[in-house]
A and B are shown apart, each in its own frame.
Chain A
Amino acid sequence: MVITTPTTPVALRCEGVRKTFPGDVEALRGVDLVVPEGAFFGLLGPNGAGKTTLIRAIVGLVIPDGGVMEVHGQSMLGPQAPAARQTVGYAPQEVSLDRFVKTRDLLSLHGRYFGMTRADAAARADELLEVFDLDDKANALPSRLSGGMRRRLMLARALIHRPRLVILDEPTAGVDIELRDELWEYIRRLHALGTSILLTTHYLEEAETLCEQVAFIRSGQIVDEGTPSGLRERYDATSLEDVYRQVMNT
Chain B
Amino acid sequence: MSELTTPEANPAVSLRRGQWRGVAALAQREVTRVVRIWSQTIAPNVVSAVLFIAIFGGALGGRIREIDGVPYSAFIVPGLILMGIGTAAYANTASSLYQARFDGFIDDPVSGPMRARHLLVAYMAGGIVRGLLIGVMILVCAIPIVDLPLVNPLPAIVAFLAAAVGFSALGVGVGLIAQTWDQQSYVGNLLLTPLVFLGGVFYSVNVLGQPWRALTHADPILYMVAASRQGMLGTSEVSLWLSLGVSVAMAVVMVLWAGRLIAKGRGLRT
Contacts and interface: CB of A to CB of B under 8 A. Distances in A.
Interface of A: 21, 56, 59-63, 82-83, 85-86, 88, 90, 92, 94, 96-101, 109-110, 112-118, 120-121, 124, 127, 130-131, 133, 157, 159, 161-164, 186, 189-190, 193-195
Contacts of B17: 115
Contact of A113 (B2, B8, B25, B115): B25
17 contacts: A60-B111, A61-B107, A61-B269, A63-B265, A86-B113, A94-B104, A98-B108, A101-B29, A101-B32, A109-B26, A113-B108, A113-B109, A115-B22, A127-B5, A162-B9, A190-B4, A194-B6
Nearest to A114: B112
A101 B269 CA distance: 23
Nearest to B99: A99
Interface centre among B6, B25, B265 (most CB of A within 10 A): B25
Interface of B: 1-11, 13, 15, 17-19, 21-22, 24-26, 28-29, 32-33, 36-37, 100, 103-105, 107-115, 265, 268-270
A96 B3 contact: no
Interface centre among A63, A112, A120, A161 (most CB of B within 10 A): A112
B110 A61 contact: yes
A233 B3 CA distance: 37
Contact of B4 (A60, A97, A116, A159): A159
B7 A120 contact: no
Given A98-B108, A194-B8, 9 more contacts: A60-B111, A61-B110, A86-B13, A86-B15, A94-B104, A98-B29, A112-B21, A114-B18, A130-B2
Contact of B113 (A83, A99, A186, A190): A83
A82 B115 contact: yes
